[in-house]
Amino acid sequence: MLPRSLVFGLGAALLLPLAPPARAQDAVAGQKVFHQVCAICHDVAQGRNRIGPSLFDIVGRKTGQVAGFHYSAANKKAELTWDAATLDKYLTNPRAVVPGTTMTYAGLKDAHKRADLIAYLGTLK
């Protein structure tokens, strides 16, 4: 017979692989977030502007570059580059990063959802 403690120890070791892995950014989950909260105003197809500009190729682009979209002066003059860090701050609270923006979205407070969403935006090339 094996000692009880050893049996329990083995049991715990076998359960370990079921623990969630360190969470990686997940573009597939981010696409769902996009459809839940952004798609009402934004399309991801190149050149297709809605209430907001197309978000095709947004990551790495400068503010206010989509042709044919009428940006607010605030967004146009923001002179920011939409890298992951800037997007993270902006999507937390758009008006804190671009005061006067006409993007009437309060912000996505869940950091995991933001990371997933930004991973998804990075696939729009």
Residue numbers at the binding site for ligand HEC (CB under 6 A)? 37-38, 40-42, 51-53, 55, 58, 63-66, 71-72, 74-75, 82, 91, 101-105, 108, 117
AA identity, residue 57: D
Choice between 91 and 119, CB closer to ligand HEC: 91
Least distance to ligand HEC, CB of residue 14, Å: 41
Q: How many CB atoms are located within 10 Å of the residue 30 CB? A: 22
Question: Pick from 35, 41, 36: which is nearest to 54 by CA?
Answer: 41
Pair of tokens at residue 63: 């503010």
Least distance to ligand HEC, CB of residue 23, Å: 19
Least distance to ligand HEC, CB of residue 88, Å: 11
Least distance to ligand HEC, CB of residue 76, Å: 7
Choice between 65 and 123, CB closer to ligand HEC: 65
d(CA 66, CA 116): 23
Q: What is the four-CA torsion angle of 124, 43, 113, 61, rounded to 10 degrees?
A: 50
